[in-house]
Amino acid sequence: MNDALSLVLALVAGGVIGAMFFGGLWWTVRKGLMSKKPSLWFFGSLVVRTIIALAGFYFVSGGQWKRLLACLLGFVIARIIVIRLTGPPIEQLESPAKKVDHAT
């Protein structure tokens, strides 16, 4: 297989792994906060997400450090995308300066 093509596929696979990892974290926080036993949700999710991510990195890399690095880059890019999609809009975030209006 062409080296450039294998790196692009590793990048895409890393994005998929990252989307599953960080999307799963977002889902776990939403479900875990409403659960009667949140520790089971958080611990179980951590174990499952970590196993999936490590196994994905292992199989995608195929023993080649360049593919592992491309996969990791895709993972980080997926993190940025998931944070932007699941986080509150920037306009809704209050700055610390706005909270101190009682001191005037």
Q: Which domain covers residue 53, as residue numbers? A: 3-103
Give the pLDDT confidence of 64-91 residue by residue, as tens digits. Answer: 999 999 999 999 999 999 999 987 755 5
- Averaged confidence pLDDT in the chain: 88
Across 73-87, b (16+ Cβ under 10 Å) vs e yields bbbeebbeebeeeee
Its pTM stands at 0.79
In terms of C-beta density within 10 A (0-12 exposed, 13-18 middle, 19 or more buried), how is residue 96 classed?
exposed
Long-range contacts of 23-31 (CB under 8 A, 24+ apart): 23/82, 23/86, 24/48, 24/49, 25/49, 26/82, 26/86
What is the Cα gyration radius of the chain?
Answer: 18
Q: Structurally, how many domains does the chain consist of?
A: 1
